[in-house]
C-alpha cells in the first residue's frame, strides 16, 4: 500500500525528506503524495510539512494498525495475515468465522476494543479501547483434540517471555490460563477448538492483556503492565514480540512434542508445588498441585494421597501450604 511505503520512507529518515524525493521514488505526483499524507495525519500520524524542507514524521499513533504490527515482524507464518478492527463484538467470533472460511494458519484478528469480549464459560472480558491487547490467532496444528490444552500453556509461556523481553517484568502463570503479576490478573487466554473425531481442524487462541489500563478500566483484582512498570508500554512492539514468541514455541511444540512446552511452562508456574483448590462447575478438588500431565492436565494429590487429574477449572491458591 502506498501509505505504508510513505511511512517506511519517513521512518527510515529521522530528518525532513523532500516531497520531490518521496514522490519520485514512489512514482506518484506531489499532489497525490500530499493527499496520502493527509490520510495518514487523519489516522493519527503526526507528520509536519515545511516548505523547501519536506515532510518529517514526529510520532506514530498508539494504534495496533495491521501495517504497524506487520512492519519488521519477521515471522514465517504467524501474523502474515492480519485483520484489524477498531471495535468488534469479540475477536474470537471474527477469527472462528475466518477459520471456517479457510483462513490460513497464523492469521490474526486484532481489535482496539470489544463489546462482548469473553472469557471461559461465557464470562466477560473487559476490553477498554486503545488500552489493551485483544487478539485471536488461528492455528491448524496436527494434534489430537485432547492435546489442545497444551496450546493454552504454550501461549501463556510465550506471553510471559515477551513481557519479560520488552518490559523486564516477571509474570507468573496460574493454571490453566491466567497471567498474573504479584497475584493480580494481567491477562487471560481462551482456547477454542473445532475438531473432527480424532484430529483438530483448527484452534483459535484468544489473548486478552491489560497493557496501558489505569485502575478504573479493569476489575478490582486485576492489574496492567503500565501500573506495574509505572510507564506507558508500546503496544505494537509488545504485540509483535508475543507473535514472535508464539511462533518460536509453536515450532518447538510441533518438533519436540508437548513435554518441551511443559518444561518451559514450569519455570513460569505459580500453581505447581502449592496447595490449591480447583473448582469446575459444582465440583471442587483440594490438594497439592504436583505436576502437569503430558496433555496439559493438572495433577493434584489430595490429603489421602490419591492423585487426580483435572483438565479444566478455576484454581484458587490456598493459604495453607502443603507440608
Footprint of ligand BT5 (CB under 6 A):
90-92, 114, 117-120, 123-126, 134-136, 177, 185, 188-190, 206-208, 210, 218-219, 222
Contacts of 205 (CB under 8 A, 6+ apart): 136, 137, 139, 151, 152, 155, 189, 190, 191, 246
Beta bridge partners of 315: 278
Q: What is the smallest separation between the CB atom of 298 and ligand BT5, expressed in angstroms?
A: 14
* Bond from prior residue into 176 cis (ω within 30 degrees of 0): yes
Nearest residue (CB) to ligand BT5, 19 versus 149: 149
Long-range residue pairs from 29-34, CB within 8 A, at least 24 positions apart, any chain: 33/6
10 Å CB burial of residue 301 (0-12, 13-18, 19+) is middle
Nearest residue (CB) to ligand BT5, 210 versus 269: 210
Residue 127 contacts residue 114 (beta carbons within 8 Å): yes
In the block, which residue shows the cell 490429603?
Answer: 303
Q: What is the smallest separation between the CB atom of 189 and ligand BT5, expressed in angstroms?
A: 6
Q: What is the smallest separation between the CB atom of 92 and ligand BT5, expressed in angstroms?
A: 4
Q: What is the smallest separation between the CB atom of 310 and ligand BT5, expressed in angstroms?
A: 14
Nearest residue (CB) to ligand BT5, 6 versus 243: 243
Q: What is the smallest separation between the CB atom of 150 and ligand BT5, expressed in angstroms?
A: 17
Nearest residue (CB) to ligand BT5, 23 versus 136: 136
Nearest residue (CB) to ligand BT5, 118 versus 275: 118
Measured distance CA(228)–CA(225) in Å, rounded: 5
Amino acid at each position: 500500500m502506498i501509505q505504508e511505503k510513505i511511512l517506511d520512507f519517513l521512518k527510515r529518515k529521522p530528518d525532513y525528506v523532500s516531497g520531490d524525493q518521496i514522490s519520485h521514488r514512489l512514482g506518484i505526483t506531489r499532489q497525490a503524495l500530499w493527499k496520502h499524507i493527509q490520510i495518514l495525519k487523519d489516522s493519527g500520524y503526526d507528520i509536519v510539512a515545511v516548505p523547501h524542507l519536506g515532510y518529517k514524521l514526529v510520532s506514530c499513533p498508539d494504534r495496533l494498525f495491521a501495517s504497524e504490527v506487520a512492519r519488521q515482524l519477521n515471522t514465517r507464518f504467524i501474523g502474515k495475515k492480519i485483520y484489524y478492527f477498531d471495535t468488534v463484538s469479540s475477536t474470537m467470533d471474527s477469527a472462528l468465522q475466518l477459520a471456517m472460511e479457510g483462513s490460513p494458519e497464523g492469521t490474526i484478528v486484532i481489535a482496539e476494543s470489544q463489546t462482548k469480549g469473553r472469557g471461559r464459560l461465557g464470562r466477560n472480558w473487559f476490553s477498554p479501547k486503545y488500552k489493551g491487547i485483544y487478539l485471536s490467532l488461528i492455528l491448524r496444528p496436527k494434534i489430537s483434540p485432547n492435546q489442545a490444552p497444551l496450546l493454552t500453556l504454550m501461549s501463556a509461556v510465550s506471553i510471559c517471555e515477551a513481557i519479560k523481553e520488552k518490559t523486564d517484568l516477571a509474570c507468573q502463570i496460574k493454571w490453566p490460563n491466567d497471567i498474573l503479576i504479584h497475584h493480580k490478573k494481567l491477562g487471560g487466554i481462551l482456547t477454542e477448538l473445532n475438531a473432527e473425531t480424532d484430529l483438530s481442524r483448527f484452534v483459535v487462541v484468544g489473548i486478552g492483556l491489560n497493557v496501558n489500563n489505569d485502575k478504573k478500566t479493569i476489575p478490582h483484582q486485576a492489574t496492567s503492565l503500565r501500573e506495574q512498570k509505572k510507564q506507558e508500554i508500546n503496544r505494537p512492539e509488545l504485540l509483535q514480540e508475543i507473535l514472535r514468541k508464539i511462533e518460536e514455541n509453536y515450532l518447538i511444540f510441533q518438533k519436540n512434542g508437548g513435554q518441551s512446552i511443559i518444561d518451559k511452562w514450569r519455570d513460569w508456574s505459580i500453581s505447581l508445588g502449592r496447595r490449591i483448590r480447583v473448582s469446575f462447575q459444582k465440583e471442587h478438588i483440594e490438594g497439592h498441585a504436583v505436576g502437569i500431565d503430558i496433555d496439559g492436565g493438572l495433577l493434584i494429590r489430595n490429603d489421602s494421597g490419591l492423585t487426580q487429574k483435572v483438565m479444566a477449572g478455576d484454581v484458587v491458591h490456598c493459604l495453607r501450604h502443603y507440608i
